[in-house]
A and B are shown apart, each in its own frame.
Chain A
């Protein structure tokens, strides 16, 4: 049943596409659609991580910075130290895991608000990224490595495949595993979950670790696609990922929503940006358009909830409270 929530959102997505293709014939070209899917892939991977964190009622502002740090370390290992590809990738994932662990432990054990600890972690990891790279940009990786970001498998670009796999795995986790239910439970009511025997602290820590690992994975795809690694990447990602999650119907208060919706959210954001380039919208107005469209879409969504009259347990608090 949870999986049906994106229903209304898919309609909004299709409506958006129809509207744009009215203005720009190039929008629905196959190459453009593949383009969009590929560009949305990284945002999607980050969005999945952000979704599970938000479902537990938390937030992760550090994903962009962790992305940067893990890709910087991987780049140094691969290029400067000349180590083989698997080591670079594993190193990046380990970094993501560690950052996630610190985030999760602080949230769960020390009870620091997630906003603050991930904000602090963002500064910390970004600083480390700068320090490790010493201001230079590492450029030019092996063709095998570049395959991750630019290769094709059965005619589909690799980033799309990786992102799809991540999404499927997490939808599975969310729907069919006890861990998935625990995540929702902790988000809905932590007290009650603890009393009913769920190890809430462990759930929270695991969720942040997963977010960290996914950020690192996104970092590898990013780095491979760009064929370069620099410490400044990913600044916009936390907010964009959160926007994708929220457009996808997972409220910040947690306890409901899902990864399926986030996919749509990521697509929506990417499509809007793509459309603005295609339509030649002035650079000055691009943030305006994005902001306005996000507001419009979510307003439509929250009203369409009433139209579709989903069971009340699935609707967000409609009094406007709940940040």
Chain B
């Protein structure tokens, strides 16, 4: 057993280190800025949310708002988002922007914010309940439909298609797939070879594609629910030497995907413009706080990006 005095010194040292670490943090209550807001995204594991954060932070700079962006440790975990909202209410922030990981699951949090008189804005994904000031974004289902329709058109309306689904149970995955399915339903000559999940991840996309390539000698089109999976599929097809004969579409317009499109490896992606969604979400919250009228829905056009217009989108 360690002698008391050694343990005491050890504990004091821990206290001091701890205290030092904590003092480095900025308590939002003391921070500058005309308004304080928190911006909660769905996860840390996708550059999509990073772009949205960047958009939100830019709005914060433009409008002199102090914005804290948060994301759940467990990706797409609505319970953690609820916690962030509760903590935000405790800190008496001026507004809360949250991208609901689950459209109904977030409602208890919104109701709490409503009770505290804090306006809520939901960029990108809707919330099915509670009083929400504004929603900004594009409908996942519609953009999915547009991309699929475009790709199927390029194929000439017939061919073999593989769908790479997003994380099971994820709202955006469900919506996008519905968009794909609706588009495919319009083309009777299209055959869906397989519809498998690659959990929105690049490496899973690669792995699943590697396996599917074994089974299907002829694949004309791969429609992926997001860019990450599409990029993984690109790697797999490239390694198998079948990139030329297969077209691939993604969703999200992240930088790597845009590069890939300009190199001709990927066919197209849809740009939801997460940065705009984030930016306008914050602006809407600001307007609300300033007493200006705010539209309930802010539709942001989401273009399909292919090689013809990719140059304008590349950063």
Contact = CB atoms under 8 A, between A and B. Distances in A.
Do chains A and B directly touch (beta carbons under 8 Å) in the complex? Answer: yes
Interface of A: 24, 26, 29, 31-32, 35, 39, 130, 135-137, 139-140, 150, 222, 225-228, 230-233, 273-274, 277-278, 280, 283-284, 286
B194 A280 contact: yes
Contact of B196 (A29, A135, A150, A277): A277
A278 B215 contact: yes
Contacts of B47: 135-137
B194 A139 contact: no
Contacts of A130: 44
B211 A226 contact: no
A46 to B, nearest CB: 14
B207 interface: yes
Interface residues of B, number: 30
A185 B51 CA distance: 53
B214 A226 contact: no
Contacts of A284: 168
A232 B44 contact: yes
A232 B210 contact: no
Interface of B is mostly: helix
Q: Which of A31, A135, A150, A230 has the most CB of B within 10 A?
A: A135
Nearest to B51: A135
A188 to B, nearest CB: 28
A35 B203 contact: no
Contacts, number: 71
B197 interface: yes
Interface of B: 44-45, 47, 49-50, 53, 75, 165, 168, 194, 196-197, 201-203, 206-208, 210-212, 214-215, 231-232, 235, 239-240, 256, 259
B203 A277 contact: no
A135 B50 contact: yes
Contacts of B165: 283
Nearest to A287: B168
Nearest to A279: B215
A222 B168 CA distance: 24
B210 A35 contact: yes
B215 A26 contact: yes
B194 A226 contact: no
Nearest to A32: B214
Q: Which of B168, B214, B235 has the most CB of A within 10 A?
A: B214
Contacts of A139: 256, 259
26 contacts: A31-B240, A32-B211, A39-B210, A135-B47, A135-B50, A135-B53, A137-B47, A137-B202, A225-B206, A226-B202, A226-B203, A226-B206, A228-B202, A228-B256, A230-B202, A231-B45, A232-B44, A232-B201, A273-B207, A273-B211, A274-B211, A278-B211, A278-B215, A280-B194, A280-B196, A283-B196
